Amino acid sequence: MRNSQPSGERYDRSYFDRWYRDPKTRVKSGIAIRRKAALALSMAEYYLEHPVHTVLDVGCGEGNWLSALRSLRPKIRYTGVDASTYAVERFGKKRNIRLGTFASLEEIGLKEDYDLIVCSDTLFYLPLGELEQGIASLASRAAGVAFLELYTGEDSLIGDFPNEGLQSASFYRKLLTRNGFLSVGSHCYLGPDMAERAMQMEQT
């Protein structure tokens, strides 16, 4: 399923129809995204000790997290970034989604920091060089919590995965720790400046 097309072309309308809309093949639902959004918001607000105001969602696709987040926090300021020209042409203006990749986060005029960073169902698709670069850019912008959803070769999964295979949990743990992220469970990580807020038994 993974091929050599640039990601901007591969993630076209038919990709989103297949995995998000067609009842026979879809693996995503609005309810599941809302649950993840509720988890990420609660975790961020617990550590920040104030409501989440700003969210950066990288690899946001069609920006499905926006409606989930707004249903829970109507005033949230959302910025999405995605490599899909289809998604940005269709939803960019309406949902504040910019065209960009994990490798170009320093070049697309993002803010210095965000209360909540989201990378849902995206990071494990990236070439490793781009993953390293992206994680470093996100670490420097993580004022609160980052929801970094990562699947590993040790997980049992259904869906669309890279041909080159998934990395191990220990690979991802080392990468995130090297960049100052601290795991507090369920795909949630404190950014480097927040890490000291977690008590020993909150860390995983």
Where does this chain bind ligand SAM (CB under 6 A)?
A: 7, 11, 28, 59-61, 64, 82-84, 87, 101-102, 120-122, 125-126, 130
Which strands, in side-by-side order, build the sheet including 97-99?
97-99, 77-82, 54-58, 114-119, 142-148, 188-190, 182-185
Question: 64 or 183, CB closer to ligand SAM?
Answer: 64
Burial of 107 (0-12, 13-18, 19+ CB in 10 A): exposed
Question: 152 or 195, CB closer to ligand SAM?
Answer: 152
Q: How far is the CB of 49 from ligand SAM (least distance, A)?
A: 27
Contact in structure between 8 and 83 (CB atoms under 8 Å): yes
Contact in structure between 176 and 135 (CB atoms under 8 Å): yes
| 161's tokens | 């995965």
Q: How far is the CB of 160 from ligand SAM (least distance, A)?
A: 7
Question: 30 or 51, CB closer to ligand SAM?
Answer: 30
Q: Name the residue number minimizing CB distance to ligand SAM.
A: 61
List of long-range contacts for 28-34, beta carbons under 8 Å, 24+ apart: 28/64, 28/121, 30/64, 30/67, 30/68, 33/64, 33/65, 33/68, 33/120, 34/68, 34/71, 34/72
The phi and psi torsions of 122 (rounded to 5 degrees) equal -140, -45
Contact in structure between 203 and 184 (CB atoms under 8 Å): yes
Question: 62 or 115, CB closer to ligand SAM?
Answer: 62
Question: 82 or 115, CB closer to ligand SAM?
Answer: 82
User: CA-CA distances (angstroms) from residue 77 to 67, 70, 116, 151?
Assistant: 12, 9, 10, 28
Q: How far is the CB of 46 from ligand SAM (least distance, A)?
A: 22
Question: 100 or 180, CB closer to ligand SAM?
Answer: 100
Q: How far is the CB of 62 from ligand SAM (least distance, A)?
A: 7
Q: How far is the CB of 59 from ligand SAM (least distance, A)?
A: 4
Q: How far is the CB of 156 from ligand SAM (least distance, A)?
A: 18
